[in-house]
């Protein structure tokens, strides 16, 4: 009888595909039995918590090692998918080989993964094994650890890390939402009662499943508990299943490979578990029936015969019980032996899968090397072909030295178009076309003569255009933009007519000396003293007057707000002027006359209103803006159609001659 594997793993959102694809691939490798998906929980990622992982990684700390531990494959896929590229200096801790393989599939480097292998009692595939493994890898207190888990799970593991003196942060990455099963889904499970194998990965899963099935049918749930086999991955889950009344509970290692190996090695025992007793042995006192059918039977039989009959019946019952006990003990021993063989087969199967994976990697590497060799061989052939082509071109050039190279003429025409249409440089375009005409000078081929005539015609049209050098004007405008920070503003200009006390003293000193030298002919002592006093009083009065005069500065402005700008407002005005000048530069190079005029007017108004027009820098900036404003942008540029047509004819003619 084929079995039905009931997968009760939690359901992940649709964007998380790695576990789903790997589980489907593993289940497709099962060549016997059926598979029924019966998810009890749906995992809802907590995006707000997941966004804190990256800042946690970027936080500076004195711990030399960084480690993120994932307590289940589901939280591993959710967190790593949202994190993106795994940091090179961060370790990843998982609790088994299946999670380690999932981590590699998600792009985490193999050298950064720490996972127990389950090969001995020290490295068990659970939180205890991972804790012992971390204790051997890292010194106490040397790690900064983030434990990513779901709700109500692995609460004892962070405590173990804290006991190791590590810096521990616990992050709940998702929440569970119970999936209400439909009647059809429950009926399908009840229909597979006698061959069902329930794969349970958490104690909450079996509790929710038992609760929902009990609401559907108590009697059918009881039958399911008596006949179905439950595969668990942890002693806590095993104890919960037995507490709920499930008769056949088997603990295996984590991962679908363990389930696969157990199903292959225990197929016969599952068939024996599903065989139910349809009848019970009834006591049939054969001795009484025989005695009653014997001729000459008498109701006055001796008591010794009755005692012998009862003893025989008791011995039969005891023998039957002993046989049942021996059979049960033998069955348990067989089960233990099969489980041991199953675990060994599982380990061998895991090793075989790893060997196959290494073989596949080697095969991929060989294919990659072969592809690279083919590419190198192809590149060598192309190089040889190019070398032959270059030799042929070189020989052709040597054979016809007098032939004009159209490639140079075509390049000059392309330069002229670029200068004319992209930069608006009429002078540069004229120089390029003049050089092309000089290259064609002296040729006698009709196609080249037509090309030269077309070039001369287009050159005449270009020379008739105004030769405004837009590139030079753009460079001048860039210099004005760079000098915006140094332009003096009216609100910060210092008075230029102030005179210090020292200057006044120096300027008035000659006058005082002349005045004191005037009455030198007077010899009287009294008159000299009076003049000295008068001179001193006059100096003091002049000094006081100029000091009072320097306290007041008169500046004529159109609006008083210009002189009352704060430093922030000055910065905003300079940024506004800079943006306006940059917009004017873009409009100039893109030849948009309307936008250029608007930007120039805005820039000029800002300069005249808020900046010191007496400054040489401001006057130079106004001169540049005035020069740009006189540029004529709305010109109809010649399209060089005659030159392009003549060039195509010349190239076609030269190719025809070579063929």
50-82 pLDDT, tens digit per residue, is: 888 988 988 888 888 999 999 888 888 888 888
Residue entry with tokens 């888990």: 149
Both tokens assigned to 492: 């910060």
pLDDT at position 77 is 86
Q: For 17-31, what is the mean pLDDT?
A: 70
Cα separation, 529 vs 533, whole angstroms: 6
Q: For 340-361, what is the mean pLDDT?
A: 84
pLDDT at position 635 is 61
pLDDT digits over 583-607, tens only?
888 887 777 778 888 888 888 888 8
Cα separation, 451 vs 645, whole angstroms: 8
pLDDT at position 235 is 85
**Number of C-beta neighbours around residue 455 at 10 A:** 25
pLDDT at position 559 is 62
pLDDT digits over 558-577, tens only?
666 666 677 888 888 888 88
pLDDT at position 388 is 86
Both tokens assigned to 657: 């001659």
> Would you put residue 401 in left (φ > 0), alpha (ψ -120 to 50) or beta?
alpha
pLDDT digits over 245-288, tens only?
998 898 887 777 778 778 777 765 555 555 543 333 333 333 33
Q: For 355-384, what is the mean pLDDT?
A: 86
Mean pLDDT score of the chain: 77
Long-range contacts of 627-631 (CB under 8 A, 24+ apart): 627/473, 627/476, 628/473, 628/476, 628/477, 628/584, 628/588, 628/596, 628/600, 629/597, 629/600, 631/468, 631/470, 631/473, 631/588, 631/596
With b for 16 or more beta-carbon neighbours within 10 A and e for fewer, the 336-367 pattern comes to eebbeebbebbbeebeeeeeeeeeeeeeeeee
pLDDT surpassing 60 at residue 109 = yes
Q: What percent of the chain has pLDDT over 90?
A: 4
pLDDT surpassing 90 at residue 91 = yes
Q: Among residues 577, 579, 581, which one has the least CA distance to residue 477?
A: 581
pLDDT at position 67 is 92
Q: What is the CA radius of gyration of the chain?
A: 50
pLDDT digits over 206-254, tens only?
888 888 888 888 888 888 888 889 999 888 889 989 999 998 898 887 7
pLDDT surpassing 70 at residue 184 = yes
Cα separation, 347 vs 97, whole angstroms: 11
Pairing of strands 41-45, 174-178: antiparallel
Cα separation, 490 vs 496, whole angstroms: 13
Residue 61 buriedness (CB in 10 A; 0-12 / 13-18 / 19+)? exposed
pTM score of the predicted model: 0.40
Question: Do the beta carbons of residue 40 and residue 8 sit within 8 Å?
Answer: yes
Cα separation, 517 vs 607, whole angstroms: 54
pLDDT surpassing 90 at residue 93 = yes
pLDDT at position 551 is 66
The secondary structure element, H or E, covering residue 81 is helix 73-83
- Is 11 in a helix, a strand, or coil? strand
Both tokens assigned to 513: 């000396």
Question: Do the beta carbons of residue 83 and residue 67 sit within 8 Å?
Answer: no
pLDDT surpassing 60 at residue 164 = yes
pLDDT at position 298 is 36
Confidence label for 519 from pLDDT (cuts 50, 70 and 90): very low
Cα separation, 595 vs 603, whole angstroms: 12
The secondary structure element, H or E, covering residue 35 is strand 34-37
pLDDT at position 68 is 93
Cα separation, 189 vs 253, whole angstroms: 24
Question: Do the beta carbons of residue 499 and residue 546 sit within 8 Å?
Answer: yes
> Bigger pLDDT: 405 or 84?
84
pLDDT surpassing 50 at residue 35 = yes
* Cα within 13 Å of Cα(351), Cβ side: 8
pLDDT surpassing 70 at residue 499 = no
pLDDT at position 221 is 87
pLDDT at position 241 is 92
Question: Do the beta carbons of residue 145 and residue 67 sit within 8 Å?
Answer: yes
Q: 85-89, 136-140, 295-299, 414-418: which range is least confident on average?
A: 295-299
State the architecture of 44-176 in CATH terms.
3-Layer(aba) Sandwich (3.40)
pLDDT digits over 462-485, tens only?
777 765 567 778 788 888 888 888
Cα separation, 194 vs 270, whole angstroms: 9
Question: Do the beta carbons of residue 110 and residue 33 sit within 8 Å?
Answer: no
Cα separation, 230 vs 248, whole angstroms: 6
Q: Among residues 232, 58, 50, which one has the least CA distance to residue 149?
A: 50
Boundaries of every domain in the chain: 4-40+179-252, 44-176, 406-465+638-658, 468-483+559-634, 494-554
Pairing of strands 196-199, 229-232: parallel
pLDDT digits over 545-556, tens only?
877 766 665 556
pLDDT at position 411 is 85
Confidence label for 507 from pLDDT (cuts 50, 70 and 90): very low
Q: For 303-325, what is the mean pLDDT?
A: 75
DSSP for 376-411 reads HHHHHHHHHHHHHHHHHHHHHHHHTTTS--HHHHHH
Neighbouring residues of 82: CB distance < 8 A, sequence distance ≥ 6: 45, 47, 50, 51, 53
Kindly report the CATH number that applies to the domain delimited by 4-40+179-252.
3.40.50.10090
pLDDT at position 269 is 54
Cα separation, 95 vs 564, whole angstroms: 70
């Amino acid at each position: 009888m084929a079995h039905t594997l009931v997968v009760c793993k939690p359901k992940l959102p649709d964007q998380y595909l790695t576990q789903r694809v790997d589980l489907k691939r593993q289940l497709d490798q099962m060549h016997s039995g059926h598979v029924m998906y019966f998810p009890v929980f749906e995992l809802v990622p907590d995006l707000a918590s997941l966004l804190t992982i990256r800042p946690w990684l970027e936080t500076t700390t004195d711990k030399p090692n960084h480690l993120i531990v994932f307590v289940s494959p589901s939280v591993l896929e959710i967190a790593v998918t949202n994190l993106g590229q795994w940091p090179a200096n961060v370790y990843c801790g998982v609790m088994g080989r299946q999670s380690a393989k999932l981590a590699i599939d998600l792009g985490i480097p193999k050298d950064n993964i720490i996972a127990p292998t389950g090969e001995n009692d020290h490295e068990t595939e659970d939180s205890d094994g991972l804790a012992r493994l971390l204790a051997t890898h890292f010194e106490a207190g040397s790690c900064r650890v983030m434990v990513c888990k779901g709700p109500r799970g692995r609460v004892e593991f962070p405590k173990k890390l804290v006991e190791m003196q590590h810096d521990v942060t616990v992050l709940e990455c998702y929440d569970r939402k119970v999936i209400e099963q439909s009647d059809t889904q429950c009926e399908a499970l009840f229909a597979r009662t006698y061959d069902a194998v329930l794969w349970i990965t958490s104690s909450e899963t079996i509790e929710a499943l038992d609760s929902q099935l009990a609401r559907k049918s108590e009697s059918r749930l009881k039958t399911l508990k008596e006949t179905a086999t439950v595969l668990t991955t942890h002693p806590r889950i095993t104890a919960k299943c037995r507490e709920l009344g499930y008769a056949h509970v088997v603990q295996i290692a984590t991962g679908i490979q363990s389930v696969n190996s157990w199903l292959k090695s225990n197929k016969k025992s599952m068939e024996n578990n599903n065989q139910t007793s349809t009848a019970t042995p009834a006591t049939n006192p054969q001795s009484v029936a025989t005695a009653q059918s014997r001729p000459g039977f008498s109701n006055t039989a001796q008591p010794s015969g009755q005692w012998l009959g009862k003893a025989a019946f008791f011995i039969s019952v005891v023998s039957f019980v002993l046989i049942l006990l021996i059979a049960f003990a033998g069955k348990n021993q067989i089960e233990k032996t099969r489980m041991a063989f199953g675990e060994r087969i599982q380990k061998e199967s895991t090793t075989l899968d790893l060997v196959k994976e290494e073989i596949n990697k080697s095969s991929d590497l060989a294919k990659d090397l072969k592809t690279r060799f083919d590419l190198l061989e192809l590149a060598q052939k192309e190089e040889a072909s190019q070398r032959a082509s270059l030799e042929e071109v070189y020989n052709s050039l040597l054979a016809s030295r007098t032939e004009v190279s159209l490639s140079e003429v075509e390049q000059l025409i392309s330069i002229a178009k670029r200068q004319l249409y992209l930069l608006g440089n009429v002078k540069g375009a004229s120089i390029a076309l003049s050089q092309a005409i000089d290259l064609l000078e002296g040729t006698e081929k009709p196609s080249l003569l037509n090309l030269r005539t077309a070039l001369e015609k287009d050159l005449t049209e270009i020379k008739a255009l105004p030769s405004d050098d837009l590139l030079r004007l753009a460079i001048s405008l860039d210099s004005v933009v760079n000098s915006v920070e140094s332009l003096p503003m009216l609100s910060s200009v210092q008075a230029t007519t102030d005179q210090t006390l020292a200057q006044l003293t120096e300027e008035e000193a000659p006058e005082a000396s002349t005045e004191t030298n005037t009455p030198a002919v007077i010899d009287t002592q009294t008159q000299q003293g009076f003049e000295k006093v008068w001179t001193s009083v006059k100096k003091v009065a002049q000094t006081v007057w100029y000091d009072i005069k320097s306290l007041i500065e008169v500046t004529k402005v159109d609006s008083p707000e210009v002189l009352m700008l704060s430093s922030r407002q000055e910065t905003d005005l300079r940024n506004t002027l800079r943006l306006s000048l940059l917009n004017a530069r873009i409009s100039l190079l893109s030849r948009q006359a309307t936008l250029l005029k608007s930007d120039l007017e805005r820039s000029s108004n800002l300069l005249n209103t808020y900046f010191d027009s007496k400054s040489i820098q401001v006057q130079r900036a106004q001169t540049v803006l005035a020069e740009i404003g006189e540029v004529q942008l709305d010109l109809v540029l010649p399209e060089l159609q005659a030159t392009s047509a003549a060039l195509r004819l010349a190239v076609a003619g030269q190719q025809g001659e070579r063929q």
